[in-house]
Structure 1
Amino acid sequence: MLSAAGLAKGRPCTTHHLAKAALAAQGGKVIDARVVDDGNPVTAGGVTSGIDLALWMITRECGASLATRVESAMEYEQRGVVWRSF
């Protein structure tokens, strides 16, 4: 949706692996990562990557301590490294 609206054009981003070619064709600078933080927007590659994105946003906005508590409550561990443009 971001890409269709022109908001990903020329910007680092990611999406589900089956849609990466379309994202690149629409002008997105596709990064091979689960979560890509370009400030605004932040994109993720799929369903569980979306959970990683949510936990990253908690980390970025509220701190790692809270994100760790949320992970524990969810019984989920973040995977991979967040790619950041800054």
Structure 2
Amino acid sequence: MALGLIVIVACVGAGVTLAQTSPDQTSPDLASPSASPAKEISVGIKQAPPFAFKLQDGSWSGLSIDLWQKIAGRLNLRFHYVEV
């Protein structure tokens, strides 16, 4: 549960920070994400229902997972989960 909360707080904090940055202060990488290939990041994850839990097929689900996938999609981030 603590990891799920950490992920949510980190994602919300990152979103707020990006939302408050004016375009002239944005780094070139953030200003045009299509200009450079997306790097893949590792996302640490553990079982913490209802925030994060592993399904029978090995995929992950839960509130934190749904939120992270929406944020990563909007920011055009490639990622993979690393179970901790």
Mark yes or no: TM-score above 0.5. Answer: no
Which protein is richer in helix relative to its size? 2
> Which band: TM-score by shorter chain?
under 0.3
Q: TM-score, normalised by structure 2?
A: 0.26
Rg comparison, structure with higher value: 2
Q: TM-score, normalised by structure 1?
A: 0.25
